[in-house]
């Protein structure tokens, strides 16, 4: 698995913590949009890995 996927998970967790416990509006629209794009890439990569391994079709 690419190292960047781990970085995406860590970043998503940090942003969630900030969203849950930070000041209102502490997660910018731009950061949220970036996280959405990273999440899409993460899901696509995991799905491809599972397909190649024969776990899903």
SS3 35: helix
Number of compact structural domains in the chain = 1
Q: Which residues contact 8 (CB under 8 A, 6 or more apart)?
A: 38, 39, 41, 42
Domain annotation covers residue 19: yes
User: What percentage of the chain has pLDDT greater than the value 70?
Assistant: 100
Residue 1 has pLDDT above 80, yes or no: no
- Is the residue at 24 inside a domain? yes
**pLDDT tens digits for 18-43?**
989 988 888 999 999 999 999 999 99
48 or 24, higher pLDDT = 48
In a domain, 57, yes or no: no
Is 52 exposed, middle or buried (CB count within 10 Å of its CB: 0-12, 13-18, 19+)? exposed
What does the pLDDT average to over 3-29? 92
Residue 22 included in any domain: yes
Quote the domain boundaries for residue 46.
3-52
């Amino acid at each position: 698995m690419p190292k960047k996927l781990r970085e995406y998970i860590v970043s998503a967790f940090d942003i969630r913590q900030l969203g849950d416990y930070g000041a209102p509006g502490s997660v910018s629209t731009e950061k949220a949009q970036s996280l959405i794009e990273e999440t899409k890439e993460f899901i696509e990569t995991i799905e491809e890995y599972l397909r190649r391994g024969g776990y899903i079709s």
